[in-house]
Structure 1
Amino acid sequence: MKSSNRAPSATSLPRAPRDEAGARSARYLVMMGIRILCFILMVVITPYGWYTWVLGAAAILLPYLAVVSANVGEEARSNRREDPERALPAAPRATTAAPPEPQARVIRIEESRPVESRTPPPSPDQPDRTT
C-alpha cells in the first residue's frame, strides 16, 4: 500500500457535490430542450421525409439519454485528476549558499481570566469607612 505524507492539492480534489449536481441538472435541461425542439420540428416541417423519422427518433431517445447522463457522476466520466506539481517547472538551483532564513516565531495570544479584587474583610477593631 502506497502511503503519502503530502496533503492532496486543491486541483486534485473532485468537484463539490453541489457543483456537480448543478452541472448535471443543466445538462439534463439542455437535452430536454433539444428534445422539445426535435418534436416541434418533426411536426412543423413539411413535406415529411426521412428527417421526420430522425427527429421523431431523437425525440423518443433523448429522454433516456438525458436521464442516463444526468445520473452519471463526474467521477465516472473522467478518472483523470490533475497533478499541478508535474506541470510546474523545476526550480533553479542556487549556485551560492543563501543565508538561512530566520525561523518564524509563533506568537500565541490567550485571553486570561478576570482578576477578582480581593480586599480583606474589615477587622472588628477598624471603623467602617463605607458610610
Structure 2
Amino acid sequence: MATAPEDDARTRSRKYFLMMSLRVVCFILMVTVTPYGWYTWLFALGAVVLPYLAVVVANVSAGTTARKAEPPMRPLAASAPPAPAPTVTDDGIIRLQETPRRDDAAHPTPPPRSRADDGLPEDPTSEDR
C-alpha cells in the first residue's frame, strides 16, 4: 500500500533538511578548521555537491510501486443512435431533419430580455418632450 502524500512529503522534507544541515556544517568546517589541507577540499566538495544531492534525494517519492488500472465506478452510457439520413424528394430539394440535443431539456434557453428589464422605456421614441 502506498504512503499518504502528507507522510511522503514530511519524509522528503526531513531528508532535504538533514542534507542541507550537513552542507552548512561542511561549509563552516571548511572555513574554520586550520591548517588547511586535503580535508579542506573534502569539506568544500561536500558544501558544493550536497545541495544537488539534497534536491535529487528529496524529489524521490516513496510511492514508486506499480499500480494496477482500476475499472470505472459506473458503466459508460451508450452513444447516441446515428442521425437519420437526409430525405431526398423528387423535386430536387434536400430536406434535413434535426433532432433536439439531449441537454436542451435540462438547460432551457431563457426568455429574451426586454428594455424594461434594464430599466429603460419600451420605445425610445415615445418619451415625452
Return the TM-score normalized by structure 1: 0.48
Return the TM-score normalized by structure 2: 0.49
Larger RCO, structure (CA 8 Å, separation 6 or more): 1
